[in-house]
Amino acid sequence: MVIINTFKKQTQNIHQLPSGHFLDINAYHYFNDDASQSKVKSVYIQASVHGAELQGNLVIYELHQILRQVKVLGKITMVPLANPLATNQKNGQSTQGRFNPITGDNWNRNYTDIITEKKELTGLDLDSFCASNSSLDDESIRQNFKIELKKALTNYRSNIVTKRGPSLNKLPNLTYQALAADADIVLDLHTGPCATDYIYAAKYQQQLAKDLNFPFNLIIPNKFAGAMDEACFAPWLGLQDALISKERQFHCDFEAYTLELGNEELISSPNAKRQALRIADYLVSRGVIENLPVTFADLMQRPQKQIWCLLKDYCSLYAPYGGLFEYHFSPGDFIKKGQSLGRYFFLQELDLEKNVEDLIANKDYYLINHNISSSVHLGSTLFQCMQNFHSY
């Protein structure tokens, strides 16, 4: 096989254990030396910030196989196993890698909206940037803003370390943000507990997100709420608003999505091939890679329709009882009002008059996630569903 792209590996320390041992991550960079980097898009992809969410790593592996055979026109950076501390956080056979084991915080809520931090920590003054760049064309503004973002993240990291010492809640996430700072597209790969394939897309990206060809799209507000995709798109929306306030029209074409790739704790090669092809097809549409070979294109599976709803219509259904619960539907299924979502078995007292009770859907839903266990506490999340949904 002839390798047609430049491929480089960058190893970076992400954490040090009490034993003194270091945990590293590897960032893999793919680009074509002939490409003019100012005219083509740059992409950043990472997986397993939540340690139990493993499927994205296999998707990165499959993307690597594709990129060995397809010409890269822009630049692609991929980071598998981005959070080794979380990946290694086991309790028996289960991975407890969603929350920082020291602080209890969700690893995907520790990011920083860098343009809202204090100027003395970041060195970034958005008003000054707009004043000195507003006469430039959009592409020049984009390139200059990427430089400022990287500087701001470096300054912020340096300042919080100098003043308060390194924060276990901040440093890993700032590392990911810095790796993504020169990207035009960011894909953060996750999974649900027991889930179908779906994506989170900001409202301004709703039409763009259709090109990813995921069967379910959750449309979130255009604001920062702590997650990686939001930390990446928020500065660009802030730049757009600042320029427009100075009567300089600027179109934010930056894209950042969270991609949910099925079930946690498990990997599936057939699913990873399909999911990687969806991403590769999307990258073709953005001019990042050339057309896929026919052998790949023939395997492409696009959904007949895409279902979407607003985040406010993505609802959790909580367990009305504690007990053993049998699920009657699988993620991705349509549930009609009046159908049985599942059945409770109350087996502590076998001589009870009623040991079995069905849980009935009170409206139409698309099932996106359900609890990974049939052993449920009162009040725990049983299902996450789309209601008031629409289709493309």
- Domain locations along the chain: 6-303, 313-391
pLDDT score, position 185: 98
**313-391 topology per CATH:** OB fold (Dihydrolipoamide Acetyltransferase, E2P) (2.40.50)
pLDDT per residue over 68-97, tens digit each?
889 999 999 999 999 999 999 988 888 888
Phi, psi at residue 49, to the nearest 5°? -65, -35
pLDDT per residue over 251-306, tens digit each?
999 999 999 999 999 999 999 999 999 999 999 999 999 988 777 766 777 888 99
| DSSP bridge partners of 310 | 219
Q: For residue 260, give the amino acid letter.
A: E
Smallest CA-to-CA distance from 216 within 351, 95, 385 is with 385
Sequence-distant (≥ 6) Cβ neighbours of residue 338 within 8 angstroms: 360, 361
pLDDT per residue over 105-116, tens digit each?
999 999 999 999
pLDDT score, position 36: 56
pLDDT score, position 341: 97
pLDDT score, position 369: 97
pLDDT score, position 344: 94
Residue-averaged pLDDT of the chain: 93
Report the distance separating Cα 286 and Cα 125, nearest Å. Answer: 31
Mean pLDDT for 18-31 is 95
pLDDT score, position 259: 98
Q: Which residue's entry shows tokens 């760049």? A: 133
- Given a cut of 90, whether residue 119 has pLDDT beyond it is yes
Q: In what order do the strands lie in the sheet with 75-79?
A: 6-16, 22-31, 75-79, 42-47, 185-192, 255-263, 197-202, 216-220, 307-310, 390-391
Q: Which two tokens stand for residue 381?
A: 């999340």
Report the distance separating Cα 66 and Cα 87, nearest Å. Answer: 26
pLDDT score, position 354: 79
pLDDT score, position 165: 81
For helices 269-285 and 55-67, what crossing angle results, to 10°?
A: 60
pTM (two decimals): 0.95
Q: Which CATH superfamily is domain 6-303 in?
A: Zn peptidases (3.40.630.10)
Give the number of C-alpha atoms closer than 13 A to the C-alpha of residue 168, restricted to the C-beta side: 14
Residue 347 — pLDDT band, cuts 50, 70, 90?
confident
pLDDT score, position 2: 56
Q: How far is CA 126 from CA 174, 232, 238, 349, in A?
A: 20, 16, 9, 65
N-term to C-term CA, the chain: 40
Contact 40, 253 (CB under 8 A): no
pLDDT score, position 229: 98
Element housing 242 (H / E) = helix 228-245
pLDDT score, position 163: 80
Sequence-distant (≥ 6) Cβ neighbours of residue 370 within 8 angstroms: 193, 194, 327, 329, 331, 382, 383, 384
Q: Is 33 helix (H, G, I), strand (E, B) or coil?
A: coil
Element housing 382 (H / E) = strand 381-386
pLDDT score, position 90: 87
Give the number of C-alpha atoms closer than 13 A to the C-alpha of residue 355, restricted to the C-beta side: 7
pLDDT per residue over 155-209, tens digit each?
999 998 888 888 888 899 999 999 999 999 999 999 999 999 999 999 999 999 9
